Amino acid sequence: MIKPLVALMGTILLANTAVGGTAYTATPDTYVALLRELTPGDRLTLSPGIYERGLPIHNLNGTAQAPIVITAPSDALPAILLAHAGRNTVSIVNSSHVTVRNLTLDGAGLPVDGVKCEGHAQWAHHITLANLDIRGHGNNQQTVGISTKCPAWGWVIRENRIVGAGTGIYLGNSDGNAPFVGGLIEHNVILDTIGYNLQIKHQNQRPELLGMPQERSVTTIRDNVFSKEQGASNGSMARPNVLVGHFPLVGPGANDIYLVHGNFFYQNPGESLFQGEGNIALYNNLFVNHAGDAIRIQPHNDTPRTISVFYNTVVASKNGIVLLRREGDPEYSQFVAGNAVFGGPPLSLPLGTSSANVTKHYEVAGRYLNAPFDPLEKLDLYPRPGKLKKIQMETRSLHGYESWNRDFNGNRRKDSFTGAYAGEGRNPGWPLSRSRKP
């Protein structure tokens, strides 16, 4: 049985020892003292209430087998971390193998970040952020829901909801010196940000840090909802829903890759839905932008390198898929295949990179998809019968990508459909929405 933590005559009484560590239950008055004492395998449960002293995760180090867990009961009233001026709410410094989950972060409109791996930290690795409700962080475009500003690797950012932030998730630093390596970003819902829903910055040559991966790593972005339907900046301040920068140009990390699949990108009034450079596999995603571009693979801080864009469904009033190279760029393997693209124009690509795509003008998307122009509650991008089937393409080059043969609904591809769905007629899967993809 897990006992509550209580303060008695100035002494903190600890809970009983659980398997693999000690389990504690804390209140707003007692939790800060416990944070400093957590060791591998410990679990700290925050009782429902308002917590106004932040969550300093400083020099807390669990292990892979015995992580430190800080949580609230998922079936209880929320534990709310309330922002305070001059202090990021969840502050992470030189910590590892720590899980933070089931908490509400209320930014109260202040210019502070919700979760920040601080810039003065040397590193932070194997941090899991799960089922956080992050709100009230829209003070300005530079206020961020989740941010890393030091070398970070092995992070899992899962099942969080971020609404109305200046920037939803910002990983890395603008100078390229805070690499984000080998991360997993999945099943998040990021809505109505002023700037990016998600940005991962470019990386300079990787520092030599104990434990930082030297072998080829993968950063996976899958099954998220990215929407900028409301509240976005325009003009020179407009930003894509998602932007991923290049990996190191030489040395460890030069062959790292982004796998971006199973995501729903929805609306951006002033910019594209996705922009990227470096090494990217972009597949089995849905893109809907009734006000502009969908996909732009183009130079930003360097150049597109190995690029694989396949099995996406794109509905965009302007550019569907754009792939740009700088003049004189080295030749890398790049292909755009098996996509169903409805845009104005559908494709703008170098010669020799396109095959087996269905490309039509934006206005005729309704002839091929069930309801591509309806409001979100009725939006349906599933293929109409007989429209997107039996377009043959070579798939051997796809086999190295996880879930390459699973469509947007997770169903195995049995026939040669173009686009994100491997079926036709009535959609048997998730109705598109601004909620978490199951």
- Domains: count for the chain: 1
In a domain? residue 185:
yes
Q: What is the chain's mean pLDDT, rounded?
A: 93
pLDDT in tens, 152-168: 999 999 999 999 999 99
Structure confidence by residue, pLDDT tens digits, 287-321:
999 999 999 999 999 999 999 999 999 999 999 99
- Output DSSP code: residue 239: -
Q: Phi and psi for 398 in degrees, rounded to 5?
A: -95, -15
Tokens 């390596």 — which residue?
181
Q: Kindly report the pTM of this predicted structure.
A: 0.95
CA distance 67 to 77: 25
What is the pLDDT averaged over residues 339-359?
96
pLDDT for residue 363 is more than 50: yes
Nearest to 247 by CA among 275, 220, 277, 221: 277
Examine residue 199 and state whether it is found in any structural domain, yes or no.
Answer: yes
**Dist. CA 263–CA 188, nearest whole Å:** 10
**Could you report the per-residue pLDDT of 38-63, keeping only the tens digit for each?**
999 999 999 999 999 999 999 999 99
Residue of higher predicted confidence among 346 and 19: 346
Specify the CATH number for the domain of residue 202. Answer: 2.160.20
Report the C-alpha gap between 380 and 432 in whole angstroms: 7
Residues β-bridged to residue 371: 380
Question: Which residues, 6+ apart, have CB-to-CB distance to 201 below 8 Å?
Answer: 170, 171, 172, 173, 174, 176, 178, 180, 245
Asked, for residue 57, whether it belongs to a domain, the answer is yes
Which pLDDT score, from 0 to 100, does residue 17 have?
A: 42
74 found inside a domain: yes
Instruction: Give the CB-side neighbour count of residue 293, counting CA atoms within 13 A.
Output: 19
pLDDT at 18 over 90: no
Report the alpha-carbon distance of residue 13 to residue 15 in Å, rounded.
Answer: 7
Buried b (16+ CB within 10 A) or exposed e, 26-47: bbbebbeebbeebebbbbbbbb
β strands within 102-173, DSSP E = 104-106, 115-117, 124-130, 133-135, 144-148, 152-153, 156-158, 161-163, 167-171
Strands ordered across the beta sheet of 358-361: 49-51, 79-82, 104-106, 133-135, 161-163, 189-191, 225-227, 264-266, 286-289, 313-316, 340-343, 358-361
Residue with tokens 């732009």: 296
Burial 403-426 (b: 16+ CB within 10 A, else e): bbebbbbeeebeeebbbbbbbbee
Q: What is the per-residue pLDDT for 295?
A: 98
In a domain, 97, yes or no: yes
Decide if 402 is inside a domain.
no
Q: Each residue of 128-156: pLDDT tens digit?
A: 999 999 999 999 999 999 999 999 999 99
CA atoms of 3 and 13, how far apart (whole Å) = 10
Q: For residue 77, is it within any domain?
A: yes
When pLDDT is averaged across residues 328-349 and rounded to a whole number, the result is 95
d(CA 64, CA 291): 45
Closest by Cα among 282, 274, 279, 269 to 234: 269
Pairwise CA distance, residues 354 & 351, whole Å: 7
Spatial separation of the C-alpha atoms in residues 314 and 362, rounded to whole Å: 9
For 199-255, what is each residue's pLDDT tens digit? 999 999 999 999 999 999 999 999 999 999 999 999 999 999 999 999 999 999 999
Note the pLDDT of residue 75: 65
Domain holding 284, by residue range, is 23-208+215-316+324-330
The answer to whether position 149 is within a domain reads yes
**SS3 at position 83:** coil
pLDDT of residue 416: 87
CA distance linking residue 348 with residue 319, whole number of Å: 8
pLDDT at site 15? 44
Chain centre distance of CA 254? 21
For residue 146, report the phi and psi dihedrals to the nearest 5 degrees: -135, 125
- Would you state the pLDDT for residue 16? 41
What is the C-alpha to C-alpha distance for residues 198 and 369, in angstroms, rounded to an integer?
28
Asked if pLDDT for residue 5 goes beyond 90, the answer is no
pLDDT in tens, 63-97: 999 999 999 997 677 999 999 999 999 999 999 99
Q: Give the pLDDT score at 122.
A: 97
